[in-house]
Structure 1
């Protein structure tokens, strides 16, 4: 059965207010992230497609602020709120998820990539499973012939236990270190099954650093 994307939800005044309030809370946290100390830098080609895990997004978003990056966020309250804040830092944000607006969001990313913009992709979003890479970033890199970079971030932070991805928010003045590698898409140019390349990229991304999440 073909999955049909649902139209954007209509929301009332109370929900609109909640989104505004949430965006201001996120903005406050973005200001706090100005204290982060980056121990190394990402020496990557641009434009490119960056593949990251959803729970490690926050310091990566902060690192690439004001660089005209295009990203994707879910069509839920948190997605809308963080998109509003990211747009204040020169991000272009496409709103969509597998169940709602996903096709439109992907084509927005595709258009941005073809205009020479770098794309940031949380490869296990928007619902998980956690640290399980989906096809989106790889398909985008393949269609646009942009290099695909796999990026991890290591830092001291607080875990949100009740979130599907166990999101990790960096503590003030935390040291942030990146580990990253370019994925050799050219090695799979003649491979008809994208799942073969996807599994290799998933393994490479996971092996960049040890997952420090421990269930309570």
Structure 2
């Protein structure tokens, strides 16, 4: 019964919860000019719930696929994402990595955007795994950092310190200027991504 609830009911509860939070908050967007080229969206695992509206305000008719793990939480996130017309590339560094990498590269080459949580699905928080670096360098795609800063929020006691904005506040939505890492070594690229991602990250 609990499994059925998590997989078949919880995603819909979260869907309407996200809509209520979005509709009742004042929204301020800090977005760069959009050149329309496929991008790799980098967002922290604990901040992913707010990025749906960040993306579709930036690209109203955009087509984005999210890299989502094969674990139980991934199933919930995939169903939630589908309600917002976001597709999924299933896999992570711990399971299905090679297949996910190939699928992600294909999506970008077909002109779709790709969303990645570099510290997911298991952390540690605010770390950058190799996947986003490999995909960006193999496709010569630029990365953009997505962050949100709510004025009022709940923060869960999970490894990613998951953030849920409270209604009737203000949410600042940030998207960085696109940047590339094609000529950088992995450790250099990792540091560049992390530095940019931490500019608007919550403690």
TM-score by length of 1: 0.79
The alpha-carbon distance between structure 1 residues 182 and 141, as it changes in their structure 2 partners (threshold 3 A), is: farther
Equivalent position to 2:154, from 151, 158, 167? 158
- Alignment root-mean-square deviation, CA: 2.3
Equivalent position to 1:145, from 140, 156, 165? 140
Give, in whole Å, the separation in 2 of the partners of 1:33 and 1:106.
33
- Which residue matches 2:186? 194
Equivalent position to 2:52, from 58, 61, 71? 61
Equivalent position to 1:76, from 37, 46, 71? 71
SS of aligned partner of 1:49: strand
The alpha-carbon distance between structure 1 residues 200 and 158, as it changes in their structure 2 partners (threshold 3 A), is: same
TM-score by length of 2: 0.84
C-alpha displacement of 1:97: 2.2
1:128-154 Cα deviation digits (max 9, x unpaired): 110111222222122111211123211
SS of aligned partner of 2:101: helix
Give, in whole Å, the separation in 1 of the partners of 2:22 and 2:69.
25
| Equivalent residue pairs, number | 195
- What residue ranges of structure 1 are gaps of 5+ in the alignment? 1-12
Q: After the TM superposition, which parts of structure 1 deviate over 4 Å for at least 4 consecutive aligned residues?
A: none
| 1:30-179 correspondence to structure 2 within 5 Å | 30-35=18-23, 36-43=25-32, 44-46=34-36, 47-65=38-56, 67-155=62-150, 156-161=152-157, 163-179=158-174
1:98-148 Cα deviation digits (max 9, x unpaired): 222232222222111111011111111111110111222222122111211
- What residue ranges of structure 2 are gaps of 5+ in the alignment? none
User: Greater Rg, structure 1 or structure 2?
Assistant: 1
